[in-house]
Amino acid sequence: MNAAAQSVDIHKDQIIFSEGDAGDCAYIIEKGRVLIYLTKDKEEIPLTILGEGEIFGEMALIDNQNRSASVRALEDVRLAIVTKQQVLERVSTADKVVQLLMRVLLKRLRRKNIGGPGGSRISEVEFDNSGAGDDGTQSALDQIKLENQIFQAFQNKEFELFYQPIVNLKNKTITGCEALLRWNSPQHGLVSPNLFIDIIENSSMVIPIGHWIINQALKDLRTIQDQLRLNKKERMADDFMMSINISGRQFTHSDFVNNLEDLREKHDLHTQNIKLEMTERIMMDGAIAIDALNQCRSLGYAISIDDFGTGFSGLQYLTQMPISFLKIDRSFVMKILSDPKSKAVVSSIIHLAHAMDIEVIAEGIEHHEEALVLETLGARFGQGYLFSKPVDLGRFLKLI
Ligand code: C2E
Ligand code: MG
Ligand code: MG
């Protein structure tokens, strides 16, 4: 059969493939029904009948074995061909645990078919457990263990928020801070979120952990503002902004805005002192994200786009979204002195932002010269090790 064709028409009673054939594609039934069967002593042992929308022939592609059964058209059928490449691409991009589940189910299915209605043949065709199989099982195990470990750490109260100042580049005064998650592990010490934030964001843990992060950041914002007022820095307290990183899954959760409002009221805070930081990826969540963004913005929360310039390629969303800040990613800032192209990108972002009434924050400033160039290019705010590394609340209170 020609695997390059997209669809094929098969006549009634025609055999699509036979047990033992090498498999180079799978099929989705567009029209008609097929019979899957085994042959024993020249006798057909029917296994199942499949109809429109169902897939067959995928097993041989996934587990690299020959066809384990035969397939015959029960009537005139039309089949869409799914190439081996298409199947494997999907399998390989699936979650590690889903991959493990698939392999185990396939293995069981093959055993059942082979030892099934025919009865006599034992499961001599074993699932290919070599190479990728072993690695796959190991990484699925690692992933589950890590997820459990992280959730355990959260329950053991090993998570903590650090705060990094955001400064006005002109006079270097602190105008706010960004809350950054830390895992204070008794075993490994202070662990950077780069090592575990993806795992949280890709699982349902993001909801309770995200809730905890917002509550903690808002509680600490209250403390920061109280201390500023105590020190007679009324103006600074009124303008102080707490940035909180919010992941897409957390933001598009149906209760996000209500929960945020509850926590804000609990800590007696104003929305204009709270900034929600999200990456451009949020735009991929479409209408739900736009709705939540508009709701937050109309309540007075500031919205900031994190790591700007590194992700989503379209700029269209800037015209449709109620965005108040763009954060220029560190990857541009770190090259601003040595690479004229990076400098040009930064300069363009700043112009674009200002033309749209959006403020710019430059991330990852480590050197005085970088701060100078950024300020000359028109960036108003900056954040980076030059001013301070992220520190715990106690140390942050000493900075302000
Ligand atoms: P981000 O939101 O872009 O945060 C900025 C990161 O750059 C922080 O890393 C910060 O410590 C680091 N950084 C700041 N200034 C400098 C500098 O001058 N030089 C260098 N080399 N690095 C600098 P961190 O804290 O490790 O966080 C990494 C990422 O993890 C964050 O990137 C953010 O995407 C995510 N993250 C952190 N906390 C949270 C959180 O509470 N919730 C969510 N959803 N994500 C978080
Ligand atoms: Mg951020
Ligand atoms: Mg960033």
Q: How far is the CA of 227 from the centre of ligand 2 (A)?
A: 24
Per-residue confidence in pLDDT tens, the chain, 400 aa: 444 458 899 999 999 999 999 998 999 999 999 999 999 898 999 999 999 999 999 888 887 889 989 999 999 999 999 988 888 888 888 888 888 888 888 888 777 765 554 433 333 333 344 344 455 677 777 888 888 899 999 999 999 999 999 999 999 999 999 999 999 999 889 999 998 999 999 888 999 999 999 999 999 999 999 999 999 999 999 999 999 999 999 999 989 999 999 999 999 999 999 999 999 888 777 788 888 999 999 999 999 999 998 876 678 888 888 899 999 999 999 999 999 999 999 999 999 999 999 999 999 999 999 999 999 999 999 999 999 999 999 999 999 9
**Same domain as 361, residue 214:** yes
Residue 252: what are its φ and ψ, rounded to 5°?
-90, 0
| Cβ burial, residue 116 (10 Å; 0-12/13-18/19+) | middle
Q: How far is the CA of 310 from the centre of ligand 3 (A)?
A: 10
**Same domain as 170, residue 83:** no
State which ligand 1 atom lies nearest to the alpha carbon of 213: 41
Q: How far is CA 80 from the centre of its chain?
A: 31
**Same domain as 273, residue 181:** yes
Q: How far is CA 307 from the centre of its chain?
A: 14
Q: How far is the CA of 305 from the centre of ligand 3 (A)?
A: 8
Q: Does 269 carry a binding-site annotation? A: no
Instruction: Report yes or no on whether pTM surpasses 0.85.
Output: no
Q: 227 in a domain, yes or no?
A: yes
Q: 115 in a domain, yes or no?
A: no
**Same domain as 184, residue 87:** no
Q: 150 in a domain, yes or no?
A: no
**What length is written for the chain?**
400
**Same domain as 164, residue 31:** no
Give me the number of domains the chain comprises: 2
DSSP category for residue 391: B
Q: How far apart are CA 59 and CA 46, in angstroms?
A: 18
Q: How far apart are CA 177 and CA 164, in angstroms?
A: 5
Residue 247: what are its φ and ψ, rounded to 5°?
-90, 160
Pocket test for ligand 1, best of 163, 180, 253, 280 (most atoms within 8 A of CB): 180
Helices (H), the chain: 59-63, 84-93, 96-115, 132-155, 197-201, 206-230, 234-239, 248-251, 256-266, 286-299, 316-320, 330-333, 340-355, 368-377, 393-399
Pocket test for ligand 1, best of 178, 197, 279 (most atoms within 8 A of CB): 197
Q: 336 in a domain, yes or no?
A: yes
Tell me the residue range of the domain where 308 lies: 156-395
| Ligand 1 interacting residues, C-beta cut-off 6 A | 164, 179-181, 192-194, 197, 201, 213, 245, 247, 306-307, 330, 363-366, 383-385, 390
